[in-house]
Amino acid sequence: MIVKVQTLEVAFQEVYLQKTMLQLHIHHQHGIINMPYRFLGDITTADVAFEAWGATREVLFAASAAALLRTMAARPEEVQRRQELAISLEHEELDLLLFDFLGELVFYKDARRLLLHADELRINDAEGVFRLDALAWGEKIDPQRHKLLVDVKAVTLHRLRVVCENGTWKTTIVLDV
């Protein structure tokens, strides 16, 4: 019999991540979540820029996905969770993992015409590689129900950064529209 032994630190991280994911799920179920992001008007005039932040990397990624959806849809809360997609990505750099993750959401919008909420995420890092496992839910774009604001073409590398300052994870994202 093989027994997997975890250190107290890893066990604590597991409990903390489960609690964070549960809180995100409960808040989304009851429609009371206020994702931590704000749009920036002073970075670019032709594109859309936003800052996002969170207590964990997972909350930061979820907030960034919410800002992306809000950029595309006037009322993202009206996008129903009818289809589920699993997204798994790896990268050696956390900021480029976020870049790839948001790019995947844009890809699904373009290739499958899906608007997606991504609010169940897990990020692990081992041996110098970050791994993201996310579940995204959404539905096909329905022009009768979804008022689309802009067509996001891509996530850019312009001013992209992910940092942890005073216990808060932060990012700046610029979207090509």
The pLDDT assigned to 11 comes to 35
Contacts of 176 (CB under 8 A, 6+ apart): 47, 152, 153, 154, 155, 156
What are the structural domains, with CATH classification, of the chain?
8-176 (3.55.10.10)
Q: Which long-range contacts (CB under 8 A, 24 or more apart) does 166-171 make?
A: 167/55, 168/53, 168/54, 168/55, 169/53, 169/54, 169/55, 169/56, 169/57, 169/59, 169/60, 170/51, 170/52, 170/53, 170/60, 171/51, 171/52, 171/53, 171/60, 171/64, 171/95, 171/98
The pLDDT assigned to 35 comes to 63
Question: pTM for the full model?
Answer: 0.78
The pLDDT assigned to 47 comes to 82
Give the pLDDT of the chain (177 residues) as one tens digit per residue: 333 333 333 333 443 334 334 334 434 443 434 567 767 676 665 688 999 999 999 999 999 999 999 999 999 999 999 999 999 999 999 999 999 999 999 999 999 999 999 989 999 999 999 999 999 999 999 999 999 999 999 999 988 999 999 999 999 999 998
Q: What angle do CA 48, 173, 18 make, to 5 degrees?
A: 125
